[in-house]
Amino acid sequence: MDIRKLEAFCKVYELQSFSKAGEAMFLSQPTISSHVANLEDELGVKLFDRLGRKIMPTQAGNVLYESMVSVFRSLDRAKAAIEVLRDRVVGELQVGCSTIPSHSILPELLKSFSAKFPEVSFIVHTADSCEVIKRVASGDWPVGIVGKRPEEDELTATLLARDETILVASPDAPWLPAEREPSLGRLVELPWVMRVKGSATRMVLEDALKSAGYSLQDLNVRCRVEGTCESLAHAVHGVGVCFTSKLAAQSLLDSGEVVRINAPALEGRREFYLIHHGGRYMFPALKAFVGFVS
């Protein structure tokens, strides 16, 4: 239904006059009459009885008016809320994160941001980098943090943090290599804990193996997991070696629950990016967050 036709109907109902409704809405009487007639045709019922110069709402008119009062109140509240969003840094902001920044980068950012903008609340979605990029590009999530620069032209990416990729394992694992720097041929024979497809960490490993003349299929994969925390937990318990972020593993390295295996052929630098849709309107909360993090 056309909102202007419904507004015209409500004004006629309230003023009990087509001409007065036209004056109130700065429309001609024929226009008001046409709006109401179109509504009656659309609904298949009469909304007003014309009794000479007087008009009276029908039972259907009463039902429609009562419903529209509630609808227009909701619209007014929505308009008021949008006015608040437009002028103040308030509201709820959804952030999509790949697993490493979700655990190792975002919490500190939200702590600092919330100290400056306490009226903003957050919903944090954790998924692999490919899924986060997809959801931000589609507009489902306004902003994300991922472990790879997106290829989508519509996305704006800002370098947020740098990290290292390393190989770790339990110091008590019976298969832990005694060599200070095992050969790559020796490493691929070890049991591995592998992230699922879509993980940026897995993509980095795949590229490193390819450069060294190997592939993921050459690895002795003992366990496949979805997230960084799960892969590290399995590594702690000796299930297999784990290729992971140094940021994510640092506390476990410090406590001695895992040790780093020197693997220069696989180790490398990686970057995390803040991404958002360049064509999306930025309410103050989103604009403030992007500006704060960048």
Between residues 252 and 82, which one has the greater pLDDT? 252
Buried b (16+ CB within 10 A) or exposed e, 169-208: bbeebeeebeeeebebeebbebbbbbbeebbbbbbbbeeb
* CATH code 3.40.190.10 region(s) in the chain: 91-161+272-293, 163-269
Q: What average pLDDT does range 24-41 have in this prediction?
A: 92
| pLDDT tens for each residue of 263-273 | 999 998 889 99
In this prediction, residue 226 has a pLDDT band, given cuts at 50, 70 and 90, of confident
| pLDDT tens for each residue of 273-292 | 999 998 887 888 888 999 99
In this prediction, residue 77 has a pLDDT band, given cuts at 50, 70 and 90, of confident
* CATH code 1.10.10.10 region(s) in the chain: 3-87
Name the percent of the chain lying above pLDDT 90. 71
Give helix 3-15 / helix 18-25 axis angle, nearest 10°: 120
Pick the CATH number of 163-269 from 2.40.160.40, 3.40.50.2300, 3.40.190.10, 3.50.50.60: 3.40.190.10
pLDDT given for residue 177 in this prediction: 92
pLDDT given for residue 273 in this prediction: 96
pLDDT given for residue 82 in this prediction: 77
Q: Domain 91-161+272-293, CATH 3.40.190.10 — does that match?
A: yes
pTM exceeding the 0.85 threshold for the entire prediction:
no
- The CATH T-level fold of domain 3-87 is Arc Repressor Mutant, subunit A (1.10.10)
Mean confidence (pLDDT) of the chain: 91
| pLDDT tens for each residue of 186-201 | 999 999 999 988 888 8
